[in-house]
Chain A
Amino acid sequence: MFQVILKQVWRDSRWMLLFLAACAIVITQGAVRLAHPVPGTDLYESVLVESQFWGLMMPVLAFFAALLLAIITWWPDRRGWWVYALTLPVERARYAMMRATAGGLLLGGLALVFWIGAAIAAGQAVVPDGLHFYVGGIALRFALALLVCHALWTMLSLTGRPAAWTVVAVVVIAIGCELVGVHAISWIFNALTGQWSPLHVLGGRWMLIDA
C-alpha cells in the first residue's frame, strides 16, 4: 500500500520536483559563481558576499518545497473529504504516516540532488586561500530544514481547521497587540526563530563557501 501511495505522490509531484531540483542546482551553482581564479584580482569579499546572497535562497527553497509537496500530497484527500482514506482498511494515523513518509522520501531525493549539486559546484570552483567549501554541512542543513518544514506543513494539513483557526487567532491577537502598543509580532518571530525552536535551522547564514 505504501508503494501505491508513493507512486501516486510521485506522479502528482514529479514536474514540480524536477523544477525544485533545477532550482537547487542553480542556487548551488550561483553560490560559487565568483569562485574562479582571475589573475591579478582579489575576489575575497566578492566570493563571500555572493555565497551569502545565494545562501539566502536555500532556506526559502526548503520552505516552499515542503509547502508545495504538502499541498500535492494532501490535496487529493482533502478534495475528496477524506472519503477514500476512510474506506481503506487501515488506521487513520497509519495512513497519514504513510503519506507523510512518501512526501518525506521525495523531499529526501531533493536533498540528495542539493548535496550532489553542491558537490559539483565545489568541484568546479577555486576559492582564495583561507576559504573552504562546506558541502556536507550545507547539505545536512538543507535536509534538516526540509524535514522540519515538511513536518510543519504535514501537521497543519492533518489537523485541518483547528490548526488553521489557531494560526488565524494568533495572527489576529498579535495584530491587536501591536495596535495597543505591545510588540507581540517581534516576540512571536523571535520565539519561532530562537535557538530553542526547530525553525532555528532555517535562520543564520547559509554559506557553501566560508572561512
Chain B
Amino acid sequence: MRSRALLLLVALAVPSAASAQRIAELKATDARLRHELDSLRHLPKPVAPMDTLQLPGGWVVATSPELRSMVEAEAPEALAEARTRYGGLLEPGSTMIRVMYDSSKWAMLQVTVGGGAAGLSREGRGADRLRSGAVARLIATAAPWAAWTLADSGLRAWAGGDVVGQHFDDYVDAARVRLQRDTGAAVSECRNGVLSACELALGGGGRVPEFNSVVRLSLLRFALDRVGGDAALPRLYADPRSPILDRLAVLTSLPGDSLVAQWHRAVLHPDALTAGSSAIALLGALVLLAIGMKGATWRAV
C-alpha cells in the first residue's frame, strides 16, 4: 500500500516538475514577447498588407501594393538598373527583401539571405522627406547590395565595415583624410604615389590591409560605381574565393595597378580642374559671347 502511494507521488511529481519547467519557459517567452511588443510600439506604424514585386533573376521584393505601384510608375529607371545590374545574381527564392515605407518620413528595408539578415533604414523629414522614387532607388541599389554582402563573407572580412547603401561619392572625403592619416610603411609610399605600395596597403598579396576600412570601401565603390558599368556586381561575385584586388580587376576589366591609379587620383583630387573642363569653359564663354554679339538687335524706339 505504502509503495503504491509512493509510486503515485512519483508519477505525479515528475510531470509536475516538467510542467513547472514548461510554465517557466512560457513565462520567459511571454515576458520576452511583451518586451518586444513594448519596443515595437515605439516604432512607426508598419505598412500592411504586403505585396510582392518579382524581378528577373529571383528577386522578390515584398512591399505594399501602394508602394509597388508608385515604384513602378515613378522610378522605372531604378528598377531597370536593378534588372541590369543584379539580375541573376542569386539563386531564385534565396533572397527576400521587405520594405516598409511611410509616405512622409521613413523607409525601412530588411534583407534576408538564408539565415542571415541585414537591415537598412533611411529617414527624412520636411523637405528631405523620402519620396517613392528614393525608396525605389533604395530597392534598386541598396537591397541587392545588402543581400549580396550577406552572402559574401570574404568581402565583408576585407571591407571591415558597413558596405550597404553607400556610393563612392559618400566615401571620398573620409577616404582622402584616412589616406593621409593612416600609418604604415606601405601607406607612406602610397601617399607618395607608389601604386604597388597602395596595393599592398589595401591588402594585396595576401597581406593584412594597412589602410582603414573607409579607404578600402572607397576602392570597392569606385570600382563598382565609376568603372564597373552595368552588371558590375555579378562580375565581382563571379569568383568569391579569389583575392579581393583580383576580383576588382575582373569587375573593371582593368589591370590591378591601373584601377588603383585611377582610384588614387579620384580620391586625392576628386574635383581637380582638368584641361578638358577648362577648354569647355573657354569655348562655352566664347560661344555665349558670340550669341550675344549676334543677338544685339536692339533698336531705338
Contacts and interface: CB of A to CB of B under 8 A. Distances in A.
Interface of A: 44-45, 48, 52, 77, 81-83, 85-86, 92-93, 96-97, 100, 128-131, 137, 140-141, 144-145, 147-148, 150-152, 154-160, 162-163, 181, 195-201, 203-207, 210-211
A154 B292 contact: yes
B277 interface: yes
B180 to A, nearest CB: 4
A207 B181 CA distance: 19
B218 to A, nearest CB: 13
A200 B177 contact: no
A193 B177 CA distance: 27
Given A45-B177, A48-B173, A159-B291, A151 B296 contact: no
25 contacts: A52-B173, A77-B298, A81-B301, A83-B300, A92-B297, A93-B294, A97-B289, A97-B293, A128-B180, A129-B180, A144-B282, A151-B286, A154-B288, A154-B289, A155-B288, A155-B295, A158-B292, A158-B293, A158-B295, A163-B295, A198-B287, A200-B277, A200-B281, A204-B271, A211-B180
Contacts of B176: 48, 210-211
B268 A198 contact: no
Interface of B: 73-74, 173, 176-177, 179-181, 191, 268-273, 277-278, 280-289, 291-301
B277 A201 contact: yes
Nearest to A128: B180
Give the secondary structure class of B's interface. Answer: helix
A71 B205 CA distance: 62
Contacts of A145: 281
Contacts of B73: 181
Contacts of B173: 48, 52
Nearest to A205: B271
A151 B288 contact: yes
A86 B278 CA distance: 36
Given A148-B284, A159-B297, A196-B280, 14 more contacts: A83-B300, A93-B294, A93-B296, A130-B180, A137-B273, A148-B288, A151-B284, A156-B292, A158-B296, A159-B296, A181-B74, A198-B285, A201-B278, A205-B271
B285 to A, nearest CB: 4
Contacts of A77: 298
A150 B191 CA distance: 39
Contact of B277 (A154, A195, A210): A195
A59 to B, nearest CB: 11
B278 A44 contact: no
A162 B295 contact: yes
B177 A48 contact: yes
A92 B295 CA distance: 10
Given A81-B300, A82-B300, A159-B295, A200 B280 contact: yes
Contacts of A97: 289, 293
Contact of A96 (B271, B280, B287, B296): B296
B283 A92 contact: no
Scoring A162, A181, A200 by chain B CB atoms within 10 A of each residue's CB, the highest score goes to: A200
Nearest to B180: A130
Contacts of B295: 155, 158-160, 162-163
A160 B297 CA distance: 9
A201 B281 contact: yes
Contact of B270 (A128, A201, A205): A205
B281 A148 contact: yes
Given A44-B177, A44-B181, A204-B270, A147 B282 contact: yes
A82 B301 CA distance: 9
Nearest to A196: B280
Contacts of B281: 144-145, 147-148, 198, 200-201
Nearest to A160: B298
Contacts of B287: 198
Q: Which of B179, B281, B300 counts the most chain A CB atoms within 10 A? A: B281
A82 B298 CA distance: 7
B279 to A, nearest CB: 10
Nearest 4 pairs of A and B residues by beta carbon = A198-B284, A204-B271, A130-B180, A159-B295
Q: Which of B74, B271, B293, B299 has the most CB of A within 10 A?
A: B293
B198 to A, nearest CB: 14
B268 A211 contact: yes
B283 A198 contact: yes
Nearest to A162: B295
A159 B269 CA distance: 39
B114 to A, nearest CB: 38
